[in-house]
Amino acid sequence: MKRELLMIPGPVMCTPSVLGEISRPVVSHVSSEFIEVFGDSLRKLKQVFMTESGEVFVVAGSGTLAMEMALVNVCEPGDNVLILSNGLFGERFREICMRHKLNADYQQAEKPGSCVSISKVEEKIEGKEYKAVTVTHVDTSTSVKAPVKELGGIIRKTNAVFIVDGVCATAGEEERMDNWGIDVLLTASQKAIGVPPGLALLAFSEKAVEIYGERKNPVDSYFLDTQNWRNVMDSYMNGKPSYFATPPVNLIFALNTSLTEILREGLEERFKRHALIAQAFREAVKSMGLNIVPFKEEYAANTVTAIYYPEGVEDKVFRSEMRREGVIVAGGLGPLKGRTFRVGHMGNVNPSDIIATISAVERALLKTGCQVTLGQGLEAAQRVLKEL
């Protein structure tokens, strides 16, 4: 059987121990075995989110469901929301706002590869009262990383709830919910968390929970209302079963295993590994004469890299050649579609995986007619990877 290396920005490759939980016999969601595992998963998730006081939620769904759940529980129709966008997924926040009759101010980066400036954010929040400010920590379309820590320091001085989309960041990028003033942190299972798709993961700060309690109207979605889920999460954390909607039991077993592996590695070590592997990959592609989308090194994410194609290279042809080399990479999104390819390097990706990917990029470029010196990218990467 041909082995393919999945190097897209999600879903990611999962460890055998995580995959083994998916195929285990299904148990009842009120069984003592599941109660223990679900409660343990919630406690471990708080550690990964780096929050002591935040309320965590594990719900069947995608990252988009988590985005919507964050907004509808904090905001009511007519509320002002400031959306900071460094790529395609800021636009998704805006569309969710429109569906729920929220007044969205959309502050977009000047061009793909740039980042909304801190000064623009300060100007916006000084001029209007916002119920919430949203940002995507790492936008997978541009591979631009937002300055979440700095933004949190500014927003925590206001009454606004700071919502961070960590779908392509959490458990890969440095991200400290309590210390950075993040009020709602959301992610999904299939990225750096290292679990197959199917779980929306969120944490709400005490401030966000208090704002929910001040609502004048009920949440306009029955399924997404955190009040319907709160008793469930509290019960399982206290060793008791509860029911609102049937949880995906095998995915939660897999989540618990992955969270155990993440915490065993240690979050600081995990951040360091992601940073060095990402730097090695960026140095490799630059040595080949390729340009990455982020303008500045400080904007470049540690979980995914978007790379511009050299002139004359067609997207489908290049990615087909990559697949022949046994490596799957992603195409561009939005305005960058056809102009870029994207490589995910998050979760369980190790130095050998990134070396194999760099080698495949060199060979695929050569086959598409580019002038590439085989081994040049590998040499550049190894100079960084020796630090691991």
Peptide bond into 11 cis (omega under 30): yes
How long a stretch of residues is the chain? 388
pLDDT tens figures, 196-252: 999 999 999 999 999 999 999 999 999 999 999 999 999 999 999 999 999 999 999
Here the contacts of 311-318 (C-beta below 8 Å, separation 24 or greater) are 312/368, 312/369, 312/370, 313/365, 313/368, 313/369, 313/370, 314/368, 315/339, 315/341, 317/368, 318/364, 318/365, 318/368
**Are residues 309 and 323 in contact, defined by beta-carbon separation less than 8 angstroms?**
no
- Taking Cα atoms as reference points, which of 192, 358, 342, 186 lies closest to residue 275? 192
CATH superfamily, domain 5-9+266-385, is Aspartate Aminotransferase, domain 1 (3.90.1150.10)
pLDDT tens figures, 87-139: 999 999 999 999 999 999 999 999 999 999 999 999 999 999 999 999 999 99
pLDDT tens figures, 335-351: 999 999 999 999 999 99
Burial profile 330-355: b = 16 or more Cβ within 10 angstroms, e = fewer: bbbbeebeeebbbbbbbbbbebebbb
Beta-bridge partners for 292: 307
What are the boundaries of each domain within the chain?
5-9+266-385, 16-265
Write down the pTM of the prediction: 0.97
Same fold? 5-9+266-385, 16-265: no
Is the confidence at residue 3, as pLDDT, over 90? no
Residue 14 exposure: Cα atoms within 13 Å on the Cβ side: 22
- Written as one letter, the residue type at 268 is E
Average pLDDT score over residue span 29-55: 98
**Are residues 231 and 225 in contact, defined by beta-carbon separation less than 8 angstroms?**
no
Is the confidence at residue 276, as pLDDT, over 70? yes
Burial profile 32-71: b = 16 or more Cβ within 10 angstroms, e = fewer: eebbebbbbbbebbbebbbbeebbbbbbebbbbbbbbbbb
* CATH code for the structural domain at 16-265: 3.40.640.10
DSSP state of 195: -
Burial profile 276-293: b = 16 or more Cβ within 10 angstroms, e = fewer: bbbbbbbbbbebbebebb
- The CA angle 155-222-229, to the nearest 5 degrees, is 70
Looking at every residue in the chain, the average pLDDT score rounds to 97
Q: What pLDDT shows up at residue 2?
A: 72
**Are residues 184 and 161 in contact, defined by beta-carbon separation less than 8 angstroms?**
yes
Q: Name the residue with higher pLDDT: 133 or 387.
A: 133
Q: How many CB atoms lie within 10 A of CB 368?
A: 17
User: Interhelix angle for 249-265 vs 267-287, to 10°?
Assistant: 80
Question: What is the band of 387 on the pLDDT scale with cuts at 50, 70, 90?
Answer: confident
Q: Dump strand ranges (E) for the chain.
A: 5-6, 55-60, 80-85, 103-108, 132-136, 138-139, 144-145, 161-165, 184-188, 199-204, 304-308, 327-328, 330-331, 340-344
Is the confidence at residue 84, as pLDDT, over 70? yes
Share of the chain above pLDDT 90, in %: 98
Is the confidence at residue 1, as pLDDT, over 90? no
Is the confidence at residue 17, as pLDDT, over 70? yes
Average pLDDT score over residue span 71-99: 97
DSSP labels for 225-241? -HHHHHHHHHHHHTT--
Share of the chain above pLDDT 70, in %: 100
Cα(139)–Cα(112) distance, integer angstroms: 11
